[in-house]
């Protein structure tokens, strides 16, 4: 089963947390304090962080245990596809319509399946290129982007949104029957 997360963590971005570090670390990372203030002023749990430029969008993360998480995700996909195939109202539709419905709604169905199966995942942050390395190698951030170094992993802010959604589903303690109703609503809701 999924781990319960305290309610005070909902909607909070990782850059809002305070970690005590050495004096040298604090001097080299002065911008962290200004980022936190900026985040509190401009990013609320209900606003789009992408349009505001949240500092967490620059922080990249990867799965801590990709094999185990991938196995659980595969199980969720298999169960979701089995559920869809067993819906009489779905398999009596023309295959073109089936394809369109799945194509439009597979991500929402997958996240709902992850919530139903209690799939939680741990992350680890990809270390950013150090300031010293950038100076010594005379690299700018645009040169790093051209090399594709910043595209590794996923945005911490986007992953945090997904985890917050999963935690909210788990707190609702939805039954299997209610999940089935939600999946049906999502699958047949073509009004995007």
Domain extents for the chain? 18-58, 59-192
Residue-level pLDDT at 47: 45
Question: What is the rounded average pLDDT for all residues in the chain?
Answer: 76
> In CATH, which superfamily holds the domain spanning 59-192?
Retinoid X Receptor (1.10.565.10)
Bigger pLDDT: 114 or 127?
114
For 66, other C-beta atoms within 10 Å of its C-beta total: 11
DSSP, collapsed to helix, strand or coil, labels residue 60 as: strand
Lowest model confidence (mean pLDDT) among 36-50, 75-89, 118-132, 175-189: 36-50
Tell me how far apart the alpha carbons of residues 144 and 139 are, in angstroms, rounded to a whole number: 7
For 58, other C-beta atoms within 10 Å of its C-beta total: 15
Bigger pLDDT: 37 or 129?
129
Rounded to the nearest 5°, which phi and psi values hold at 112? -65, -40
Average pLDDT estimate for 162-172: 94
* CA-to-CA dists, residue 86 to 89, 92, 105, 138, angstroms: 9, 10, 17, 59
Residue-level pLDDT at 53: 57
């Amino acid at each position: 089963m999924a781990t319960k997360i305290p309610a005070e963590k909902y909607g909070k971005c990782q850059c809002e947390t305070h970690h005590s570090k050495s004096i040298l670390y604090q001097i080299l990372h002065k911008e962290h304090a200004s980022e936190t203030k900026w985040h509190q002023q401009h990013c609320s749990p209900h606003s789009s962080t992408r349009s505001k430029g949240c500092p967490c969008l620059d922080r990249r993360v990867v799965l801590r245990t990709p094999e185990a998480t991938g196995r659980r995700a595969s199980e969720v996909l298999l169960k979701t596809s089995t559920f869809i195939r067993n819906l009489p109202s779905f398999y009596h539709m023309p295959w073109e319509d089936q394809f369109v419905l799945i194509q439009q709604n597979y991500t929402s169905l997958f996240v709902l399946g992850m919530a139903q199966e209690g799939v939680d995942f741990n992350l680890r942050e990809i270390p950013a290129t150090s300031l010293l390395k950038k100076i010594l190698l005379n690299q700018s951030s645009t040169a790093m982007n051209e090399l594709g170094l910043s595209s590794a992993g996923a945005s911490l802010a986007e992953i945090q949104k997904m985890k917050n959604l999963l935690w909210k589903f788990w707190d609702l303690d939805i039954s299997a029957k209610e999940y089935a109703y939600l999946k049906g609503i999502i699958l047949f809701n073509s009004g995007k």
